[in-house]
Amino acid sequence: MTGFKAEVFQNEYLPAGVDTIDAVVTVKAEDAEVGVSAQRDAVEIIAIDTSGSMQEEGGAKMHAAKAATQAAIDTISDGVYFAIIGGNAGAYMVYPRDGLAVSSPSTRDEAKRMVSRVRANGGTAIGTWLKAAAFLANQYPHAIAHCLLLTDGKNEHDEPGALAAAIRDCTGLLQCDTRGLGADWDINELRTISSALLGTVDIIPRPEDMEAEFRRLTEQAMGKQVGSVALRLWTPKGSVSQFVKQVAPNLEDLTGSAKPVNPLTNDYPLGSWSGDEERDYHIRVSIPTGNVGDERLAARVMLVIDDAEQPAALVRAIWTDDERLSTRINREVAHYTGQAELASVIAEGLAARDAGDQATATVKLGRAVQIAHQAGNGDTVRLLQKVVDVDDPATGTVRLKRQVNKTDEMALDVRSTRTVRVGKTK
Amino acid sequence: MECPACGETSPEGATWCEACGHDLNAEPLPECQACGEREVTDEGYCGICGHKQPEERDHMEFGEDALIAVTNKGKRHRHNEDSVAVGHAFDEAGNVTAAALVVCDGVSSTPGSAEASEAATKAALNVLLSGLSDPVFLANRTNRTQSESGDGSKSDLDVLIESATVAAQNVAAAAPEVESNHPGSSGGPPSSTFVAVVSEPDANGANITVGWLGDSRAYWLGDEALLLTSDHEVEGSLTRWIGADSPNPTPDLASHRFEGLGYLVVCTDGLWRYASAAQELKELVQRLVDQGAAGTTLGSQLIDFANDNGGHDNITAAVWTNHPQPPSVIESRIDLDQHATPEEPTAVGVELAGDDLPEEKSDPE
């Protein structure tokens, strides 16, 4: 059984009258036992866009999507239940004919053959594709289920509300990584899906990048060993959990996903974990203030696996009139506060740029360059450099580029929530 | 019987609640000192309001009547690293011959100092009470006026206090170093101040001998008010202490003869910082006694005085007096005397064992 280790980073000292405490909780899965994934059923669903637009560029996109899907199929472990869904204005089974197949050399060959026969035409109805994935995953509701969803376009042919309903169907049932090919898809649409379904979203700028990405994502899914993990947060009577955010490897606000366990305790679903995964969480709690000298437990953070609680990490609040203590800045909290600011100034900067507000865009994207430079977000700095010319990264002095590739701008947007961990510099 | 967890009724003698599975034989959880809910967890926090429950060391009171000790966390520090131990020594007839008082102020910047200071006070008191009760030592003490005529040579009692200091230094130096990322922590091995005082009363007054390292103090508050120690401290840093990194664990020694009645106060800087001059402390004690304070009440009122002035540090005071005690208190002393035997001296906060007395001390010159 995989064990979890949680460690708290915080400044527990508060000046008199202050009621809000921040803490970063690092959670690490360890002691992964070989063979756990074999004992636990796994479901892998690949949903590929086969709309008419995939046939553009001389069929290069469809051709690459088929090759990528075939590479992903090769990566599916023996014994895993799997299916390939084709998506257009509806959803249809590419392989198997219905239900799920059990992965073996022969079923994988059969699946690859069926993939090669796919033809691109029709519209895009992502909600319908997800609904089909939920239907399939529901056949093994206790399995670790993962879906890889690819689209090159916007969700144009669903009934209103169909996508939201499909997301609800999938919640708690499967995790979904979404990928957008090219520049004609909607970042917010895919981000909504992957956020709700505890997966990632990214751009695949060129068809030739697809195969490696599909292989990587499927391998990652095969490595998941623990199915339903939740972060259990106890806070004292009279307190308010201001937010619970995943802050590494990427930003994800979990506050809204709280499921009450009892009046003082909530569970935040974290999805499945591999045996050596590490994630960081930033929590902010307001609690009734104490007198100088009082100490109070502000939060207890536990990991819950299949309803079994793992040892807790404690967030404390101690009120003091010693300013040397209360004014100390905790390095981890400051770092992730900066990472959250980085994501929001990128979003604000790009929005201002789209709206033609060059002054605001320059200030915001300049600030982004400055934070990313200081915090060691090398990848983010490189993405920013495709949108702005950097004169001085230390002060955030930048000029907006006149000509920007649409996929470069989208890559900056969609990857703005990727964070670096503390201490990882350049 | 009613389940304390869910309120359902189970048959008498049932081990588990049939409704919720609660262990009906389980000890109820302790009551929260802040909100009263019975939800205090193993970690020492209330499971409802989150309040940290006081630790035993946060406030302790020992002894009664003429010999008491109190120690308190104060208002600023997270833990109490002070320790104190007091006890009486008896002759073979069961008469009190002396009182011994040991106070240690564990250095809060070196984690693990509470353990070091507690071990040191116990070890030192053990040596003192065993030595003071030794028949050979007592026989020699009857001739003490010659040996303490001021020629600079060490008395038997000086030697005994030195060996008590050695015992304290040995256990403090053996206390394990604790890692801490606390902002107030300087790292380094546990360390502590040390002050040990022996008071030998007679019909006309008392002989008082003091040994110390660091800035914990002893005061005599009688007809005259006198500070008996001088701080080993330069610009806020200790120059002598006990602990593994002590450069010089040799105590300074002082002996005094006081006629008449008075109070012996042995304390840490958590108290004396608010009443440093002997006359000031004397007036404070006098005022509290005039208001009826005696025994541990006097001790806890000294703590209140320090906390009312800010409680910037841990606060510890051990008090011995040869003033007659108020009638209500004398009654309890009679009761105490009936139970105290020479084999079980009235030592508080220590387990007494006579067999680990250092070799050279059992046969003093």
Q: What would the pLDDT profile of B147-206 be if each residue is shown by its tens digit?
A: 444 556 788 899 999 999 999 999 999 998 887 666 566 778 999 999 999 999 999 999
The secondary structure element, H or E, covering residue B332 is helix B327-339
Q: In terms of domains, do A240 and A111 share one?
A: no
Q: In terms of domains, do A215 and A74 share one?
A: yes
The answer to whether the CB atoms of A321 and B76 lie below 8 A apart is yes
pLDDT at residue number A226: 80
pLDDT of chain A, 426 residues: tens digit per residue: 567 888 999 999 999 999 999 999 999 887 655 334 445 789 999 999 999 999 987 889 999 999 999 999 999 999 999 999 999 999 999 999 999 999 999 999 999 999 999 999 999 999 999 999 999 999 999 899 999 999 999 998 888 899 999 999 999 899 999 999 999 999 999 999 999 999 999 999 999 999 999 999 999 999 887 878 899 999 999 999 999 999 999 999 999 999 999 999 999 999 888 878 899 999 999 999 988 888 999 999 999 887 788 878 999 999 988 888 889 899 999 999 999 999 999 999 999 999 999 999 999 999 999 999 999 999 999 999 999 999 999 999 999 999 999 999 999 999 999 999 886 433
ipTM of the assembly? 0.74
The answer to whether the CB atoms of B50 and A314 lie below 8 A apart is no
Hey, which residues 174-213 in chain B have their CB within 8 Å of chain A?
183-184
- Rounded distance between C-alpha atoms, residue A153 and residue A54, angstroms: 9
CATH number at residue A14: 2.60.40.3670
pLDDT at residue number A267: 95
- Of A196, A82, A88, the residue nearest A151 (C-alpha): A88
Q: In terms of domains, do A202 and A280 share one?
A: no
Q: With respect to residue A266, please indicate whether it lies within any of the assigned structural domains.
A: no
- Rounded distance between C-alpha atoms, residue B243 and residue B170, angstroms: 8
Show the tokens assigned to B310: 């800010």
pLDDT at residue number B137: 85
Selecting from A293, A294, A314 the residue whose C-beta is nearest the C-beta of B76 gives A293
Q: Calculate the CA B176 to chain-centre distance.
A: 21
Selecting from B52, B75, B311 the residue whose C-beta is nearest the C-beta of A295 gives B52
Contacts of B49 in chain A (CB under 8 A): 236-238, 288, 296
pLDDT at residue number B185: 67
Specify the length of chain B in residues: 365
Q: Which one is predicted more confidently, B166 or B348?
A: B166
Q: With respect to residue A318, please indicate whether it lies within any of the assigned structural domains.
A: yes
Q: In terms of domains, do A193 and A212 share one?
A: yes
pLDDT at residue number A271: 87
Q: Calculate the CA A55 to chain-centre distance.
A: 29
Q: Given pLDDT bands bounded at 50, 70 and 90, which one contains residue B144?
A: low
pLDDT at residue number A423: 66
- Rounded distance between C-alpha atoms, residue B107 and residue A150, angstroms: 63
Residue burial A189-215, b: 16+ Cβ < 10 Å; e: rest: bbbbbbbbbbbbbbbbbebeebbebbb
pLDDT at residue number B329: 45
Q: In terms of domains, do A280 and A390 share one?
A: no
Say how many CB pairs under 8 Å bridge A and B. Answer: 52
Show the tokens assigned to B336: 């105490």
Q: Given pLDDT bands bounded at 50, 70 and 90, which one contains residue B342?
A: very low
Question: What 3-state DSSP class applies to A389?
Answer: strand
Report the greatest alpha carbon distance in chain A: 73
The answer to whether the CB atoms of A293 and B183 lie below 8 A apart is no
Q: In terms of domains, do A344 and A311 share one?
A: no
Hey, which residues 311-340 in chain A have their CB within 8 Å of chain B?
312, 314, 316-318, 320-322, 324-325, 328
B46–A contact, CB cutoff 8 A: yes
pLDDT at residue number B338: 38
Helices B156-174 and B113-132 meet at what angle, rounded to 10?
150
- Rounded distance between C-alpha atoms, residue B294 and residue B64, angstroms: 9
Selecting from A298, A322, A324 the residue whose C-beta is nearest the C-beta of B50 gives A298
Tell me the average pLDDT across B326-351.
Answer: 42
Domain that residue A61 falls in: 36-222
- Rounded distance between C-alpha atoms, residue B11 and residue B23, angstroms: 13
Residue A289 near residue A319 (C-beta atoms within 8 A): yes
Place of tokens 């051990």: B318
What is the DSSP code string of B57-98?
GGEEEEEETTEEEEEE-TTT-SS--EEEEEEEEE-TTS-EEE
Q: Given pLDDT bands bounded at 50, 70 and 90, which one contains residue B344?
A: very low
Q: In terms of domains, do A70 and A83 share one?
A: yes
Show the tokens assigned to A352: 């201002």
**Secondary structure letter of residue B12 according to DSSP:** T
What is the DSSP code string of A239-260?
-EEEEEEEEESB-EE-GGG-EE
A412–B contact, CB cutoff 8 A: no
The answer to whether the CB atoms of A264 and B48 lie below 8 A apart is yes
How many C-beta neighbours within 10 Å does residue A354 have?
A: 10
Tell me the average pLDDT across B55-73.
Answer: 92
Q: With respect to residue A101, please indicate whether it lies within any of the assigned structural domains.
A: yes
Q: With respect to residue A26, please indicate whether it lies within any of the assigned structural domains.
A: yes
Contacts of B311 in chain A (CB under 8 A): 293
Show the tokens assigned to B226: 């006198």
Burial degree of B139 (CB within 10 A; 0-12, 13-18, 19+): exposed
pLDDT at residue number A5: 85
How many C-beta neighbours within 10 Å does residue B230 have?
A: 11
- State the total domains in chain A: 3
Q: In terms of domains, do A28 and A40 share one?
A: no
- Rounded distance between C-alpha atoms, residue B262 and residue B321, angstroms: 6
- Rounded distance between C-alpha atoms, residue A95 and residue A108, angstroms: 10
Contacts of B45 in chain A (CB under 8 A): 296-297, 314
Per 3-state DSSP, chain B is made up of helix, strand and coil in percentages (nearest 5) of: 30, 25, 45
Contacts of B46 in chain A (CB under 8 A): 236, 297
Q: Which one is predicted more confidently, B344 or B117?
A: B117
Selecting from B45, B48, B75 the residue whose C-beta is nearest the C-beta of A293 gives B75
Question: What 3-state DSSP class applies to A354?
Answer: helix
Q: In terms of domains, do A122 and A193 share one?
A: yes
The answer to whether the CB atoms of A238 and B184 lie below 8 A apart is no
Q: With respect to residue A100, please indicate whether it lies within any of the assigned structural domains.
A: yes
pLDDT at residue number B330: 43
Q: With respect to residue A361, please indicate whether it lies within any of the assigned structural domains.
A: yes
Q: In terms of domains, do A196 and A248 share one?
A: no
pLDDT at residue number B188: 82
Q: In terms of domains, do A15 and A132 share one?
A: no
Asked whether the predicted pLDDT for residue B5 surpasses 70, the reply is no
Q: Which residue of A has its CA nearest to B79?
A: A293
Q: With respect to residue A424, please indicate whether it lies within any of the assigned structural domains.
A: no
The answer to whether the CB atoms of B45 and A314 lie below 8 A apart is yes
Q: In terms of domains, do A211 and A248 share one?
A: no
**Secondary structure letter of residue A321 according to DSSP:** S
Asked whether the predicted pLDDT for residue B350 surpasses 50, the reply is no
- Rounded distance between C-alpha atoms, residue A191 and residue B76, angstroms: 48
The answer to whether the CB atoms of A320 and B76 lie below 8 A apart is yes
Selecting from A236, A293, A314 the residue whose C-beta is nearest the C-beta of B49 gives A236
Residue B232 near residue B252 (C-beta atoms within 8 A): yes
- Rounded distance between C-alpha atoms, residue A165 and residue B360, angstroms: 87
Selecting from B48, B50, B76 the residue whose C-beta is nearest the C-beta of A322 gives B76
pLDDT at residue number B339: 39
Residue B69 near residue B86 (C-beta atoms within 8 A): yes
Cis ω on the peptide bond leading into residue B28 (within 30° of 0)? Answer: no
Closest Cα in chain A, distance from residue B147 (Å) = 51
Q: With respect to residue A265, please indicate whether it lies within any of the assigned structural domains.
A: no
Contacts of B164 (CB under 8 A, 6+ apart): B102, B123, B124, B125, B127, B128, B131, B196, B211
Give the residue ranges of DSSP H helices in A237-357.
323-326, 331-354
Show the tokens assigned to A66: 């088929």
Identify the structural domains of chain B with CATH numbers, from first to last: 1-53 (no CATH), 58-361 (3.60.40.10)
The secondary structure element, H or E, covering residue A303 is strand A295-305
CATH number at residue A47: 3.40.50.410
Q: What percentage of chain B exceeds 90 in pLDDT?
A: 56
**Secondary structure letter of residue B40 according to DSSP:** B
Selecting from A239, A292, A328 the residue whose C-beta is nearest the C-beta of B75 gives A292
Contacts of B50 in chain A (CB under 8 A): 235-237, 239, 287, 296-298, 317
Place of tokens 């970690």: B43
Contacts by residues A56-64 (CB-CB < 8 Å, ≥ 24 positions apart): A57/A207, A59/A120, A60/A207, A61/A152, A61/A181, A61/A182, A61/A207, A62/A118, A62/A120, A63/A207, A64/A207, A64/A208, A64/A210, A64/A211
CATH number at residue A340: 1.20.120.1690
C-alpha triplet A134, A111, A166: angle, nearest 5°: 15
Beta bridge partners of A232: A267, A302
Closest Cα in chain B, distance from residue A10 (Å) = 11
Selecting from A13, A235, A296 the residue whose C-beta is nearest the C-beta of B51 gives A296
Show the tokens assigned to B95: 């008469």
Q: What pLDDT digit, counting tens, does each position of B243-258 carry?
A: 999 999 999 999 999 9
Asked whether the predicted pLDDT for residue B358 surpasses 50, the reply is no
Q: Calculate the CA A356 to chain-centre distance.
A: 30
Fill in the amino acid letter for B283.
E
- Rounded distance between C-alpha atoms, residue B91 and residue B141, angstroms: 12
